[in-house]
Structure formats: C-alpha cells, structure tokens
Structure 1
Amino acid sequence: MKTVILIPARYASTRYPGKPLVKLTQPDGSQKSLIQMSYEAANSAKGADAVYVTTDDERIADAARAFGADVIMTSEDCANGTERCSEAMKNANLEADIIVNLQGDAPLTPPWFVEALIEAVKNDPNVGMATPVLRCDAQTYAHFTEDRRNGRVGGTTAVFNAQNDALYFSKEVLPYVDPGKMPEPLPVFHHVGVYAYRPDALAAYGTWSAGPLESLEGLEQLRFLENGHPIRCVEVDGKGRVFWELNNPEDVARIESVLKA
C-alpha cells in the first residue's frame, strides 16, 4: 500500500504567528526551524513512500525547499491541517492508499507513532482514520493542568471506548481526576496531533462544514465525529520520551529542554 506523509503548515497562526519558521536550539548548539524538524521526523518513519510540506505561504515553501523538501501549495482558505491535506491531495492528484497528516508543530513525534498509525489502517479495512493517543505521565499531566490554571491552551486529551474508537477530544483535561485520589496509571490520554486517513475519508472531510463542537474546541478532528465518522485511537508507547507540541511561545523552552535531555 502506498503511503504519503503530508506536513501542513501555515504562517498566520492566531496564537503564534510564524510558528513553522521558529528556530529551536539543537543539542549540538545549532538551530533548526520547527518545519525542518517536523520534516526530519516524518522522514525517520518507516513505511512512507513520499513526504511533502503543504502550505499557502511562500516563506514556508521557500524555507522547506531550502532544506530539500517537496512542496504542495494550497489556498489560504484552508481552516486547518486536515482541510489543507484534503486540498493538497486534490491539487497534486496524489495517488495513495494511506495519507498521513504530521502537523508541523510536533517535532518530537517519534517515528513509531506514525508507523503504528500506518499499521492500524493497513490491518483493518474498516478503519478510515486513525490517530495516536499517549497515556500521560506525571510530568505531562502537570504541564496540562498548569497551562489550564494559567489560562493557556496546552495539549489535547482524548477519551475513547472499549473498541478504541474516539468518544471525544478536548483542550480541557479529560477525564476529571480528583487531585486527592490520583490513580496509577493516570487515566488521562494525550492526543498526539498526527492522523492517518484513507483517501475517501480525507476527501469527505473537505466537503463538510465545521460543526459547533469543532468551532468551540478548535479541534479539527471533531468534524469527523460530528459527521458520524469513527476515529480509531491507537495507543502508543512513549518509551520514556517526553512528548510536547509547540502551541505557545512558552513551549519553545520546554521542547529545547527535552532535546537537551
């Protein structure tokens, strides 16, 4: 099965304009842009036949081409990464059995997360879309709750049923855990912003309008749930790595500290 990874990136982020081009200090003291780190993360995953950066911004396109990436241009009308991937698939007439959306703000995404998604879709013809979830450790949970106390939007949490199909995703920390009765392991799962789609599911997404839940939460994947399309949650193992997305300027220092560690 042919698998293509798309990295959607936009310059005009509401919370962090120019985010894909932000430079992060590497362990050797050099600097790389967020989009280059995401591109390198995508290329480290096994099973992908091609990797593209897809954007509407020439600054990002130029930067991507400079470090050797192929680029698919899209319009400025894409409201989120999934819309951008859907349009890119159409614009480039991509022929693929599985399309992976590795968002450009997740440079710490381990390759085995992507590989687990590809396998989940390959192994079950009923899975039209899959996304990874990672059980929160104490450090990540503390980051989540600290962000919410300070009015910042941090990571996204996921709740799912016994068949591992998603029930809901939220920027709130779900489910609620009584601070005085912290269970072990924590029943809170961090949703990792990576998606694998079959082409028909991705094409259908581009025909739907955003629903009330997506609009309230600002989470693109809720559009699938609001239209009755299941999302398979694939639990992955962090293998001791701290996973953190770059959502706010404060996250730069967090990610750099993880890289040093």
Structure 2
Amino acid sequence: MKTVIIIPARYASSRYPGKPLVGLRGPDGVTKPLIRRSWEAAMEVRGVAEVHVATDDDRIAAAARSFGASVIMTGTDCENGTVRCADAMARTGIAADLVVNLQGDAPLTPPWFVEALIGAMAADPGAEIATPVIRCDAETLAHFLADRRAGRVGGTTAVFGRDGRALYFSKEVIPYTGGAVPDPIPVFHHVGLYAYRPAALAAYAGWPAGPLEALEGLEQLRFLENGRPVLCVPVEGRGRVFWELNNPVDVERIETALAQMKETP
C-alpha cells in the first residue's frame, strides 16, 4: 500500500495558542519547535512514501519549511485534524492507499505505533479507520487522574470490544474502576493517531459534527456517530513514555521523556 503521513497543525488552539511553535528542549540541550519534533517522529516511520505538514497558518508553514518539511496549505475552516487531512488530500490530489494522521502535538509517537496501524489495515481490508491504544501504566494513569482533579483536559481514553472495534472514546477516565487500580490496569490511553482509507476520510469531511463529538471535543466520535467502526490497535510502549502536548504543563512532561531518549541534533 502507498501510505502518506499528514501532520495537521493549527495556531489557534483554544487550550494552548501557538502550540506548534512551542520549543521543546532535548537531552542535548537543543530546543526545537513542537512541529519539528512531530515531523521528525513521522520521518522515522518505515514504509511511508510521503510526509506533509498541513496548516492554514503562515507562521507554522514558514517554520516547517525552514527545516525541510513539505507543507500543504489548507482552508481556514478546518475544525479538526481529520478535516484538515481530508482538505489537504482534496487540494493536492495525492494518490494513496492509506492516509495517516499524525497529529502535530504528539512528538513522542514511536514509529512502531504507526507501523502497527499500517500492518493492521493491511491485514484487515474491511477496516476503514484504525487508531492505536496503549494500556496505561501507573504513571500515566496518575497523570490522567491528576489532570481531572485539577480541571485540566488531559489525554483521551478508549474502550473497545473483543473484535477490537471501538465502543467509545472519552476525555474522562473510562472504564470507571471505583477508585481501585486493578492489575492489569483496564484503562487504555488513546493515541491521537489515525489511519484512514481515502474514501472514509473523504466521507468524514461531508458529515456534520454530532452531539457526542461536540460534547467531548473528540473528532473520532464522528465516525462512530455515523455508524463507521473504528479499529483499535493495541500497541506497546517498549519502555517509552507517550504523552501529547495538550496543556502548558505537558512541556515539562515531554522534555523529561525526551531526556530519556537518544536523539540527534
């Protein structure tokens, strides 16, 4: 399959304006903007034909071009990353069998997360959309619960059936465990990463947002609300910490994780 990665990035984040240009310091002391670190994560994925940054903001575009990224300028009315990916594909006419949305706030995404999605879609021709989930460890679950107590919107959780199809995604910590921490922990962190068949991606852009998507602020719920199953693909962290940059407090968390990884300037 010809696979392309699109990294949607917007400047006007309600929770963290200008987020793609926020600097993240690596273990070598070098600070790079979030969008560059996300692009570098995408460039590590094997079996991908093209990687593009999709944005409507000239500041993000200029930053991306400065480190050699291909940039697709999209419309200003893209309400989420999935719509921005669809808009980028429609504007360019890129031919692909699979489109991967690696969101611009997820620089800690390991390449094997993306490769697992590609493999799952290749193995299941009937799957239209796939997304990774990772079982929470005690540290990640503690971050989730601390964010909720502080009134911050943190990571997203997912519940899915025995066939791997998603039942629901939420910014609350689900399933409810009554305050206990069972072993193994039954809470799965949803990784903000998607693989779509082009037809499913194009269809999404034509649907209005549904009530659940509006309440949760989670774009993937639009697929569920329109009867399109989403395949959840369990992945392993392999000792790597995964966390998105959702709030200013996450900068320190991500820099701490980067300090535990080897990287080149």
In which range does the TM-score fall when normalised by the shorter chain? over 0.9
**Alignment-derived partner of residue 51 in structure 2:** 51
**Partner residue of 2:207?**
208
Q: Which amino acid aligns with 2:162?
A: A
* Within-5 A mapping of 1:146-165: 146-165=146-165
What is the identity, as a one-letter code, of the residue corresponding to 2:72? I
User: Per-residue displacement from partner, 1:59-109 (whole Å, max 9, x unpaired)?
Assistant: 000000000000111011000000000000000101000000000000000
Residue in 1 aligned with 2:234?
235
**Distance in 1 between residues matched to 2:69 and 2:105, nearest whole Å:** 16
Normalising to structure 2: TM-score of the pair? 0.97
Q: Deviations over 1:110-143 (max 9, x none)?
A: 0000000011111111000000000000000000
Partner Cα distance (1:165, 1:114) in 2: 18
Distance 1:125 1:182 in 2: 37
What is the aligned-residue RMSD (CA, Å)? 0.6
> Unpaired runs of 5+ in structure 1?
none
Distance in 1, matches of 2:22 and 2:146, equals 24
Shift of 1:260: 1.3
Match runs of 1:71-220 below 5 Å: 71-179=71-179, 181-220=180-219
CA drift of 1:182 comes to 2.0
Aligned-pair CA distance for 1:4: 0.2
Supply the distance in 2 between the matched residues of 1:209 and 1:247 (Cα, whole angstroms): 25
Question: How far 1:35 sits from its partner (Å)?
Answer: 0.3
Partner amino acid for 2:166?
A
Q: Which residue of 2 aligns with 1:257?
A: 256
Give the deviation of 1:178 after TM superposition.
Answer: 2.2
Counterpart residue number, 2:263: none
Amino acid at match of 1:248: N
Cα-to-partner distance string for 1:183-233 (whole Å, 9 max, x where unaligned): 111000000000000000000001000000000000000000000000000
Q: Following TM superposition, by how much is the alpha carbon of 1:6 offset from its aligned partner in structure 2, in angstroms? A: 0.1
Structure 1 residue 163: deviation in Å? 0.2
Sequence identity (%): 68
For 2:258 and 2:54, the matched residues in 1 are separated by 26
Other-structure match for 1:5: 5
Aligned equivalent of 1:24 = 24
Matched, 1:244 2:248: no
Letter in 2 for 1:10: R
Aligned residue for 1:241, secondary structure, equals coil
Distance in 2, matches of 1:191 and 1:47, equals: 23
SS of 1:196's equivalent in the other structure is strand
Determine helix, strand or coil for the equivalent of 1:101. Answer: strand
Q: Which amino acid is 1:79 matched to?
A: E
Instruction: Output the CA distance in 1 between the equivalents of 2:199 and 2:228.
Output: 12
The residue identity in structure 2 corresponding to 1:230 is P
Letter in 2 for 1:48: V
Q: Give the residue type in structure 1 aligned to 2:217.
A: G
The number of residue pairs the alignment matches comes to: 260
Which 4+ stretches in 1 moved above 3 angstroms?
A: none
2:177 and 2:138 map into 1 onto residues whose CA distance is: 13
1:43-62 CA-to-partner distances (Å, cap 9, x unmatched) read 10111100000000010000
Distance 2:121 2:164 in 1: 13
Q: 3-state SS of the aligned residue for 1:246?
A: coil
- Determine the C-alpha separation between the residues in 2 that align with 1:185 and 1:74: 43
2:77 aligned counterpart, secondary structure = coil
- Distance in 1 between residues matched to 2:104 and 2:240, nearest whole Å: 19
Shift of 1:258: 1.1
